[in-house]
Amino acid sequence: MAKLDISKYEKKMELRNIKMEDIDDILELQKRCFPGMDPWKRDQLESHLKIFPEGQFCITYEGKIIGSCSSLIINFEEYDNNHTWDDITDEGYITNHNPDGDNLYGIEVMVDPEFRRMKIGRRLYEARKELARELNLESILIGGRIPGYHDHADSLTPREYVEEVIERNLYDPVLTFQLMNGFVLKRINAHYLPDDVASEEYATLMEWNNIDFRQKAKRQFLTSLPVRICVIQYMMKKIESFDDFATQVEFYTDVASNYRSDFAVFPEIFTTQLMSFLDEKSPSLAVRKLATFTEDYLKLFSELAVKYNVNIIGGSHFVEEDHHIYNVAHLFRRDGTIEKQYKLHITPNERKWWGIKPGNDVHVFDTDCGKISILVCYDIEFPELARKVTDMGASIIFTPFCTDERQGYMRVRVCAQARAIENQIYTVISGTVGNLPSVENMDIQYAQSGIFAPSDFAFPRDGIVGECSANIETVVVGDVDLELLRRYRKTGDVLQLKDRRSDLYEVRWKKK
């Protein structure tokens, strides 16, 4: 019998890293794997290969790509538990890849439908596990689809569906596979991938722990809980209508949104710009005319907060209640909800010209970026208030202000920086500039807005996160880190909150 040529029976399968010349094939593969979902863009895949080529794998069968997976390295503690796919991948470009991180995050696995049941997915997962071991990474994380959920969405919640799959009462092609490969469920995230209709936009956060992980001698610590703040130093100038005011406000809200800010901060009583077309010379009557725009003001800012996806500290506005005028600051959350804080300490100028009445309560507000408080202008000059809101859990105090000359401005600034130091907290001041010659008592303005931190080695020199140039129309954008603040309150060189002599004194709030 002639010698059998076994080469004709060979079918070569190869696991390797993706190359630039594979991109067209990967794009075609994705169309076959996920019809109806948004495919990769070429520049996204090119970015993956430039930034982290070791984390991009494919499997070929007889030279044809039949499976692939993509990943990046992160420090997962830097991300919100409710993160989305866009958050974790920087919208698919992985420019947030951190080579010093501890976690490999898998962002996609594809297997050609024609070649399923050939353990292609398992080979890709094993490649990731081996990479995690080689790079000494603590774990692999995956935001997993649950494509079978849409068949049960009418009768089961996402949690109930996942529990049924875990108990093996239901089969899900992705979740079941991940469980079989040693991944455990950490949580369920909503709105993870908007075009994942089959999963109803839900995803399971799954984790595989590397038992060979060796704790690094010195962990790298980067920003863990960043909050981006855009402070608007607002120009007071004559306008002709509320629409003019709205146009100027929307412009700055758009600017804050373009910088992906979490907060946009406007100054105190900047709505007095509306007085420039009200044609009322008496300040006490003008302020009551101004208060008639309250509903327009609330509607405008609430819509802008939602439209531009930014929490807005809406400066402050004069509001009439029970025939009295109050100076009220508003928080417009990006989910459409609104809160308000009355100014508690009224300056002699406000009483004399406008007859402003004080509020009686101080509040701390929950936001998607932690607890915050608003102390309007003069209020920041009374240390008891800042201590009170700090004890109530605030991490950031926002201070909209309006001062006519440098001495008044310096009182606000120096006190804001003092409050940051003595309470181990971030403070933010936002003021008006320019002039309104036709408006009595609002003719000149002086400001240099800024973002301030405690004074210690963990924070910027001089305790200044960022500040505007004095007396010009501009913004300053800065990041504050709430996790850094939390750690500093425990391990700083000085610990003002911890070292207070509460056995000797206290701040006590009298209820009216």
Query: How many whole angstroms from its chain centre is CA 491?
Result: 25
Given a contact cutoff of 8 angstroms between Cβ atoms, the answer to whether 331 and 418 are in contact is no
Handedness of CA 272, 277, 280, 285 (dihedral sign): negative
- What's the CA gap between 490 and 446, in Å, rounded? 37
Helix (H, G, I), strand (E, B) or coil at 131: helix
402 is catalytic: no
Tokens representing 215 are: 């704790």
230, 377, 415, 468: the catalytic one is 377
Q: Kind of pairing, strands 13-17 and 338-342?
A: unpaired
How many Å apart are CA 469 and CA 475, to the nearest integer? Answer: 9
Cα distance between residue 488 and residue 486, in whole Å: 5
**What is d(CA 449, CA 470) in angstroms, rounded to the nearest whole number?**
8
Alpha carbons 387 and 502: distance in angstroms, whole number: 13
Q: Which two tokens stand for residue 195?
A: 């075009």
The torsion defined by the Cα of 122, 124, 129 and 134, in degrees rounded to 10, comes to 150
Sign for the pseudo-dihedral over CA of 342, 348, 353, 355: positive
Q: Is 377 one of the annotated active-site residues of the chain?
A: yes
- Verify whether residue 78 is a known catalytic residue: no
- Among 78, 108, 343, 467, the active-site one is 343
CB atoms within 10 A of CB 356: 19
DSSP track, 427-445? EEEEEEEEB-TTSTT-SB-
Catalytic residue among 268, 350, 381, 467: 268
Question: CB-side exposure of 474: number of CA atoms within 13 Å?
Answer: 13
Residues classed as catalytic: 268, 343, 377
